[in-house]
Amino acid sequence: MILSMSNIKKKFGNFTALELDKLEFEEGKYYVVLCPSGYGKTTLLRIVFDLEFSDSGQIIILAKDMTNAPAWKRDIGLEFQNYALYPHLTVYENIASPLSVMKIHRNEIVKRVLTVNGNIYI
């Protein structure tokens, strides 16, 4: 499993925003978390990316317990739905940007970005 979450609970006062028994994601697959508005999708993502604390539960990333690890140690990225792209950069440059910050060699960056979508033009 690339990501496994179990017994995640989050309350805001008396309101239960999220109650999750178990959710697992395998490497190399795409997943969609789909449910009506107000069922905790954003809360779940915020907990996984350490933008919010859960009241209970466990988060395992690449076989390591990251429940209490800070965001920078989790080594995962988040792409927001709106307003998170750099408007002055191309699609390629937006995807390559974090890889450049990680000081990955240019040839490897090209390979990784083109793996995401073969229709991206440099």
Mean pLDDT, range 74-82, rounded to an integer: 71
Place of tokens 């699609």: 91
Same domain, 31 and 56: yes
Same domain, 89 and 62: no
Residue 16's domain comprises 3-69
The confidence score (pLDDT) of residue 20 equals: 94
Same domain, 10 and 52: yes
Q: Is residue 74 part of a domain?
A: no
CATH number at residue 54: 3.40.50.300
Same domain, 7 and 59: yes
Same domain, 65 and 87: no
How many domains is the chain built from? 2
How are strands ordered across the β-sheet holding 15-25?
A: 15-25, 3-12, 56-61, 64-65
Backbone angles phi, psi at 34, to 5 degrees: -125, 125
Is residue 1 predicted with pLDDT exceeding 70?
yes
User: DSSP letters of 19-57?
Assistant: EEEEEEE-TT--------TTSSHHHHHHHHTTSS--SEE
Cβ contacts of 35 within 8 Å, gap of 6 or more: 41
**47, 69, 91 - which closes a domain:** 69
18-67 pLDDT per residue, tens? 999 999 999 888 888 888 888 899 899 999 988 899 999 999 999 999 99
